[in-house]
A and B are shown apart, each in its own frame.
Chain A
Amino acid sequence: MTLDATDRAILNRMQDDLPLTPHPYAAVAEELGLAEADLLARLTRMKQDRVITRFGPFFDATAMGGAFCLCAMAVPVDEFETVLTKVNAHPEVAHNYERTHRLNMWFVLATETPEGIEATADAIERETGIAVLRFPKLQEFFIGFRVAA
Chain B
Amino acid sequence: MIDATDRQIIEALQGGLPLVPAPYAQVADGLGLDEDALLYRLAEMKARGVIRRIAAAPNHYKLGMTSNGMTVWDVDDDRITELGAQIGALPFVTHCYERPRALPDWPYNLFAMVHGADGVEVEEKRAEISVILGDACRARDILYSTRILKKTGLRLKTKG
0/1 interface trace, chain B 46-79, chain A, CB 8 Å (1 if under): 1011111111111110110100001000000000
**Interface Cβ pair total, 8 Å cutoff:** 234
A14 and B55 contact, Cβ closer than 8 Å, known pairs A51-B63, A140-B96: yes
Q: Give the total of A residues in contact with B, Cβ under 8 Å.
A: 75
Does the CB pair A55–B19 fall under 8 Å? Answer: yes
- Majority secondary structure of chain A interface residues (helix, strand, loop or mixed): mixed
Q: Return chain A residues, CB-CB under 8 Å to B59.
A: 50-53
A100 and B144 contact, Cβ closer than 8 Å, known pairs A43-B19, A84-B149: yes
- Majority secondary structure of chain B interface residues (helix, strand, loop or mixed): mixed
Does the CB pair B52–A58 fall under 8 Å? Answer: yes
A15 and B52 contact, Cβ closer than 8 Å, known pairs A97-B145, A97-B147, A141-B84: no
Q: How far is it, in angstroms, between the C-alpha of A134 and the C-alpha of B141 when the chains are bound?
A: 18
Residue B160 at the A interface, CB < 8 A? Answer: no
Residue A63 at the B interface, CB < 8 A? Answer: yes
Q: Return chain B residues, CB-CB under 8 Å to A50.
A: 59, 62
Residue A47 at the B interface, CB < 8 A? Answer: yes
A17 and B55 contact, Cβ closer than 8 Å, known pairs A97-B147, A139-B81, A147-B60: yes
0/1 interface trace, chain A 56-94, chain B, CB 8 Å (1 if under): 111111011100001010100000000010011001111
Residue B20 at the A interface, CB < 8 A? Answer: yes
Does the CB pair A138–B94 fall under 8 Å? Answer: no
Partner of A63, one of B17, B48, B96, B150: B48
Residue A6 at the B interface, CB < 8 A? Answer: no
Q: What is A's interface to B at a CB cutoff of 8 Å?
A: 1, 3, 11, 14-18, 20-26, 36, 40, 43-44, 47, 49-61, 63-65, 70, 72, 74, 84, 87-88, 91-101, 103, 105-107, 110, 112, 133-147, 149
Q: What is B's interface to A at a CB cutoff of 8 Å?
A: 1-2, 10, 13-17, 19-25, 35, 39, 42-43, 46, 48-60, 62-63, 65, 70, 80-81, 84-85, 87-89, 91, 93-100, 102, 105-106, 109, 111, 115, 141, 143-157
Known: A100-B143, A147-B94. 17 other contacts (CB 8 A): A11-B63, A16-B55, A17-B54, A18-B17, A20-B24, A55-B56, A60-B51, A61-B154, A91-B157, A94-B151, A98-B145, A99-B146, A101-B143, A133-B102, A137-B99, A138-B98, A145-B55
